[in-house]
A = this chain, B = another copy of it.
Amino acid sequence: MKKLKVGVLGATGSVGQRFVQLLDGHPWFELGALFASERSAGKRYKDAAPWVLPSEMPEEAAEMVVKPMKAIGTSSTEEIAVMFSALPGDIASVVEKQGAQAGCAVSSNVVVHRMEEDVPLVIPEINTNHLALIAAQKLKRGWDGFIITNPNCSAIVMTLSLKPLMRFGMKSVHVSTMQAISGAGYVGLSSMAILDNVIPFIGKEEGKMESEPLKILGTLEGSEIKPAPFTICASCHRVPVMDGHTEAVWVDFEEDVSVEEVKKAFLDFKTDIKTPFSPEKPIIVREEEDRPQPRLDRDAGNGMSISVGRIRAGNVENEMKYIVQGHNTVRGASGASILNAEVLVERGYI
């Protein structure tokens, strides 16, 4: 099989770098273009992007010349089948549309289009059926290509853990996050702000966590998504951890559910996705009393598995609580967009 050419929008930032790292050696995809701002365009990637990840910058990417956004849709980029987007929110809206107009499948990690009604917001283990929105989107917008999105990093981790619990009927979910600093981007957070500290605020994060999971767990009716019928209450906090979001979750069920039933639901959760980035076990159940922990569990399943543990009954009637942890820049960002693109290929959308 010939590899598909892919591009990365916003390739010089930390999420963009993670795309470049994860795509290196990908069995289906081949890096065809790196896009960044005018300031970086024309430079070799190794000169434009101060590499912030522990591994070495992939050699092939290092020598590529960064293209400007305006090259999208021109002959120089016509081979690109998939655009991964790690653009800052404000320009993502314009550029992602240009990509879709130019015929690309845009697999975006950016917030801007996530909640639009004809844009699939996808976690493949949960709602590949929502990809049916693509046809409606292309028709409505008159595009050759299309846009699909993955949720916010914190939302992905929690939503994966909620999916197997849907069977029991949920009334409400409370969640408190302890989020890694890599989620703020390389220049997003001063070291003086977070050393020996907790910052109990992350801009707009709680709103995302309270809305995105309901769309993902919602029901496709015709070409509309009917949101899942429960309520989420989030409180989001930054802690001095490099990678891996840890989340304390309480679920109020419609009726009585036991610890064993919840645990079995997690253990029984399977995926039928068979693509390179699809983890064998999307959900790992930890038995230790003090797990999951980000330092020990974030790399499980190459960073694509989430880990749950400490399943225990709450004090309120029909309430259970547990801890869930996942790698925020792999499962929660670039890895999620790549998995989405793989599913597009597997299901014939590309």
A residues near B, CB below 8 A? 14, 52-55, 172, 174, 176, 178, 181-182, 184, 186-201, 210, 231-233, 235, 237, 239-242, 246, 248, 250, 289-297, 299, 309-310, 314-316, 319, 321, 323, 325
Contact = CB atoms under 8 A, between A and B. Distances in A.
Which residue, A178, A181, A293, has most C-beta atoms of chain B within 10 A? A293
B196 A196 contact: yes
Contacts of A187: 190
Contacts of A315: 172, 210, 231-233
A292 B200 contact: yes
B210 A235 contact: no
A321 to B, nearest CB: 6
Across the A-B interface, give the 4 residue pairs with the lowest CB-CB distance, nearest first: A176-B176, A201-B290, A235-B248, A197-B295
Contacts of A246: 198, 200, 237
Contacts of A178: 178, 198, 237, 239
How many chain copies? 4
B196 A242 contact: yes
Contacts of A197: 241, 293-296
B240 A195 contact: yes
Nearest to A284: B56
Nearest to A312: B206
Given A233-B316, A241-B198, A319-B233, A190 B192 contact: no
Which residue, A193, A239, A241, A315, has most C-beta atoms of chain B within 10 A? A315
B200 A290 contact: yes
A248 B310 contact: no
A273 to B, nearest CB: 23
Contact of A310 (B14, B198, B201, B250): B201
Which residue, A248, A309, A310, has most C-beta atoms of chain B within 10 A? A248
